[in-house]
Structure 1
Amino acid sequence: MINNLTSRRRQRPHIVVIGGGTGLPVILHALRRKNADITAIVTVADDGGSSGIIRNYINVVPPGDIRNVLVALSNTPEIYKKIFQYRFKSSDQFFSGHAIGNLIIAALSEMNGDGIFNAVQELSQLMMIDGHVYPAANDPLILNAEFTDGTVLAGESEISAADKTIKRVWVTGVDGEEPHAVREVVDAIMEADQIVLGPGSLFTSILPNLMISNVGKAVCETSAEVIYICNIMTQKGETEHFSDADHVRVLNHHLGQKIIDTVLVNTQPVPDNYMDHQKYDEYLFQVKHDFNGLRQEGCRVISDNFLELRDRGVFHNGSQVVEELMRLTSRPLSWNENEFN
């Protein structure tokens, strides 16, 4: 007799996407159109912009990444999403720069009084989310980094602005204690058919989640295939001069074992002089390919045209990436397989 969990997985693969920043909603928005059971685990270590201001005033988890993920997975009418995403203009001095959704998330968190997790679950129902949105932790986290010159900094925005080579990162609670994810986060990872990391900033969007001890342990122990969507561009203050293999090495090194089973790599060149580097000033050069290095990391490589060019910027084509993710849910992993499409 097939149990309910096995039956559900065969009907709708359970895909857990872990990350933050602007790349995560692109994948989730495309994934929502597919027959998948989606769980998004979202970083709570952001301390910049509207999120950082709200965090500093009322000591709640920074809501910006959570807000964008909720919108990406919402089945509400577009006008509701636009209202939720609306950001007050600079002329509105009191609300300047704040998104309405950030204020709503902060308000619900304060009303609940027991952290942000339950607040996000209530808001998920209001926004008609088909799936789950889980903050990686129930309380605000501080991202810490050690640089190759031996110096140490705390705070995502400080780390990104330091313009130094990062050696390692870790997270702490605001009280200095070691943070832990709630049980639902760990259970989602352990019960998943597929774990997707990225796309997103390696040190400030992806690793902060994995550095929560019970989250990293679950990713190491899950039977799910762990897929990394490699960034298309290197990032100032984080991954300057990185190859695709360097990204995977950093992930594996931080977790203490080779956790990445499959890596998706874009091989479509970005046209010369296309990108507006003033508008997208944190992105530097296209990530170089090191397929031998990726093989040494023990992962299957799937390379294809995952590039989308718009608004003088470089992005992942969410539909193309998700088509590949769905194909992989029905295809068993072969450790000796490398694909170059």
Structure 2
Amino acid sequence: MLHKPKIVVIGGGTGLPVVLRGLRDQNVDVTAVVTVADDGGSSGILRNYINVVPPGDIRNVLVALSELPDLELDIFQYRFKSSDQFFAGHAIGNLIISALSEMKGGIFTAVQELSEMMKINGHIYPVANEPLTLNAEFTDGTKLSGESEISAAHKQIKRVWVTSSKDNDGHPVRPVPEVITAIKNADQIVLGPGSLFTSILPNLMISEVGQAVCESKAEVIYICNIMTQKGETDNFTDADHVRVLNHHLGKNFINTVLVNIQPVPENYLDFQEWNEISQPVKHDFQGLRAQNCRVISSNFLRLKDNGAFHDRDKVVAELMNRLHQVHE
């Protein structure tokens, strides 16, 4: 049997499932490494009440890689209306993941069991088996803890790091061993698309994970965001995104960047509906090349529901293209 190329996708938030759904239908072995530092919405409430790893990002990834019929996935994704006071705002999938985490004594085993039940095509690894806290230092010297607090502060972030939510005695955060093995065996490592400071970096800031990515012989591809994010990446160029990643890991580890060059029509966007975004990411190709990046600029834009997103098929086609070029 031919070796299936191994692709590891690292991130969280809403961008990760988009890429995974496209990769699911390719002849590749996909591993999703998912952040466990989310503390907003339904995930945050469950995390506070029953001290489980926040399930929201994991739920969306399970659905993206599942081969179950749509009806079953719709039930898993169903979110109770706010008028249902007891369950208000909770997605059924979040409750199932939380229950299984309690039953199995941890999120990792729970997700592996659910992966079998949901006919997952690939592997889903929470980056750690415990809830993590994201911490940030801002350029004005102040510090904050908690992903939603950091985003809401609307200050320029200087650096982020993660700590264990369970104990604050300075123990280094340990990743799930399978995450490190997957990274070491990868043919391609994909970062993003997703929030730079709150979806991608929380994974890489676990020192063993960052080190494994830096030491990997695989091509590391960063899918640059189309829009800047309020309170996180205001006025960032594509080169600024890469600079932040490289700076956090102490070396130029990003090999290739996918950059959208299709203009976003200004009058199309609904900034109230998509209240996280501020403006299209500006281009600085010289700045990217100065960081030893291969730049692939193309039309990766998909306009949908008055928002600007990545076109899944175009992004996945480019990832497949890189895979074949590297391994020819």
Q: Please report the TM-score for the alignment, with normalisation by the length of structure 1.
A: 0.94
Structure 1 residue matching 2:44: 3-state secondary structure = helix
2:152 counterpart (151, 161, 164): 161
Please give the secondary structure, in 1, of the residue aligned with 2:179: helix
The question of 1:305 aligning with 2:296 is answered: no
Map of 1:171 onto structure 2: 162
Structure 2 CA distance, aligned partners of 1:289 and 1:248? 12
| Equivalent residue pairs, number | 325
Cα RMSD of the aligned pairs, angstroms, is 1.1
* Distance in 1 separating the partners of 2:318 and 2:54: 32
Provide structure 2 residue ranges, at least 5 long, that are not aligned to the other structure.
none
Partners of 1:60 and 1:180 in 2: how far apart? 16
Identity %: 71
Instruction: Work out the CA distance in 2 between the residues paired with 1:93 and 1:298.
Output: 53
**Secondary structure, in 3 states, of the residue corresponding to 1:308?**
strand
Which residue number corresponds to residue 336 of structure 1?
none
Within-5 A mapping of 1:223-238: 223-238=217-232
C-alpha distance in 2, partners of 1:98/1:185? 28
Structure 1 Cα separation of the partners of residues 104 and 2 of structure 2: 32
* CA–CA separation in structure 2 for the residues paired with 1:270 and 1:331: 30
Q: Which letter does structure 1 place at the counterpart of 2:34?
A: V
3-state DSSP of counterpart to 1:330:
helix
Residue 257 of structure 2 corresponds to 263
Alignment of 1:1-341 (within 5 A): 8-9=2-3, 12-113=4-105, 115-174=106-165, 175-176=167-168, 177-332=171-326
Task: Name the amino acid aligned to 2:234.
Answer: E
Residue by residue over 1:76-127, the C-alpha shift from the partner in whole angstroms, topping out at 9 and shown as x without a partner, is 11111000000000111000000000000000000011x2001000000000
**Secondary structure of the equivalent of 1:273?**
helix
Query: Helix, strand or coil: the match of 1:238?
Result: coil
Cα distance between partner residues in 2 of 1:8 and 1:236: 45
* Structure 1 stretches lacking a partner, 5+ long: 1-6, 334-341
**Matched residues in 2 for 1:166 and 1:188: separation?**
30
Q: Distance in 1 between matches of 2:179 and 2:22?
A: 22
Letter in 2 for 1:145: A
CA distance in 1, matches of 2:120, 2:304: 27
* SS of equivalent to 1:253: helix
Stretch moving more, 188-197 or 172-181: 172-181
Which runs of 4 or more aligned residues in structure 1 lie more than 3 Å from their structure 2 counterparts after TM superposition? none
Q: Once the 2 structures are TM-superposed, how far is the Cα of residue 332 of structure 1 from its aligned partner?
A: 2.4
User: Which letter maps to 2:192?
Assistant: G
